[in-house]
Amino acid sequence: MKTKQKTVAVHAGSRLTGSKAVPVMPPIFPAAVNWFDSSDDLSDALDGKDYAYARISAPNAALLEEAVAALEGAEACVAYASGMAALRSLFDAQPWKAGDVLVMPTDGYGVTRALYKNLCARWGVELRPLDQTSPDAPARIREWRPRLVLAESISNPLLRVPDIRALAQACKDAGAVFAVDATFPSPFGQRALELGADYAVQSTSKWLNGHSDALGGTVSGSKSSIDPLRSARILSGDVLGPFEAWLTLRGLRTLPVRMKAHNEHAAHVAKRLSESPLLERVIYPGLSSHPDHAVAARVLEGGFGPMVAFEIKGAGQKEGDRFLEALRVAKPGPSLGDVGTLVMHAASASARRMTPEERAQAGIRDSLIRVSVGLEDPDDVADDLLAAVEKGAGR
């Protein structure tokens, strides 16, 4: 039978034949649907043994999951359309009962807090913020016996560094599931699973991607802990698109090289900032003045992280806005992990969805600025920040 042109136009060129070449960089597989010559093969694919429908599994996301699992030292990984979708999946995976307890950092990411507050209210779960860097934090976990504990390797935005190993032991003693959002240090800076966490979470939009051009999130852990998440994702539809997965995998290839430089630049910028009389304090785990400096030296690898924060003396929202508008090298942006330096006013960005009372409890003041240090010359970054501080302070 001679196939007509309309049919040829739809189907021709859909299979590669005759080549044994393996591309250095995997291609993008945008197809949402795949077909099979064999009905048995199709049936197997619908059971997850091959790629049938992109909501079930897809090649680019699977390649990224394999790479992130390897970086995290995990048996398995599942990728999501965003970091928030990854955090939502952890909540949904727990067998909640009314009266159960969820523990998260007092000074953690404001959007995570808003998400978990909403979900806890729906399920009758008690959300208990905890200063996870306090000496009695492990004792509180053992006492409260929570269902789920979420920690942040480096808290957002105050850059506190909890002792993940001590918290992990407390969670084990209390029978709690322990998840660590390790986005700030990335797997280069901390492999939370090796410190005892059940799950390691990444917003891949940040350092793993590294170029601010693709959203995504991952959860890594043992195969038995990840399989239920993967099954649930089929129903929730929180899948990572092929182009986003491809871009993130491309960025991930240079993660160790980038993070080494980001960490070194952040340490240099923090030192320069600490010499300014216009700053109330400079917050960086690598400074001896940081309250968790000794802990950070134990639980962070390859440096003290790529994030710096500081408080401008006497500054409020108005002075913070003037500071942001005065930047010339760094860019005011509500994210992190880019090759360029990104700066934000913490109270109006990362902590925007926290109440004033919650911000006060966490210690997030209107004078607080958070910096994601990029790959520019660190002296150029420091000079830019210091000049903007002077303008913001009206000097």
Q: 355 is written with which tokens?
A: 């109440």
What string of H, E and C letters represents the secondary structure of the chain?
CCCCHHHHHHHCCCCCCCCCCCCCCCCCCCCCECCCCCHHHHHHHHCCCCCCECCCCCHHHHHHHHHHHHHHCCCEEEEECCHHHHHHHHHHCCCCCCCCEEEEECCCCHHHHHHHHHHHHHHCCEEEEECCCCCCHHHHHHHHCCCEEEEECCCCCCCCCCCHHHHHHHHHHHCCEEEEECCCCHHHHCCHHHHCCCEEEECCCCCCCCCCCCCCEEEEECHHHHHHHHHHHHHHCCCCCHHHHHHHHHHHCCHHHHHHHHHHHHHHHHHHHCCCCCEEEEECCCCCCCCCHHHHHHHCCCCCCCEEEEEECCCCHHHHHHHHHHCCCCEECCCCCCCCCEEEEHHHCCCCCCCHHHHHHHCCCCCEEEEECCCCCHHHHHHHHHHHHHHHCCC
Q: CB–CB of 375/340 below 8 Å?
A: yes
Q: Which of 84, 214, 92, 94 is nearest to 146 (CA)?
A: 94
HSE at residue 393, side-chain half, CA atoms within 13 A, is: 17
Q: CB–CB of 242/59 below 8 Å?
A: yes
Q: Which of 200, 240, 237, 244 is nearest to 71 (CA)?
A: 200
C-alpha span between 223 and 378 (Å, rounded): 41
Active site positions, annotated = 55, 109, 181, 206
Q: CB–CB of 189/324 below 8 Å?
A: no
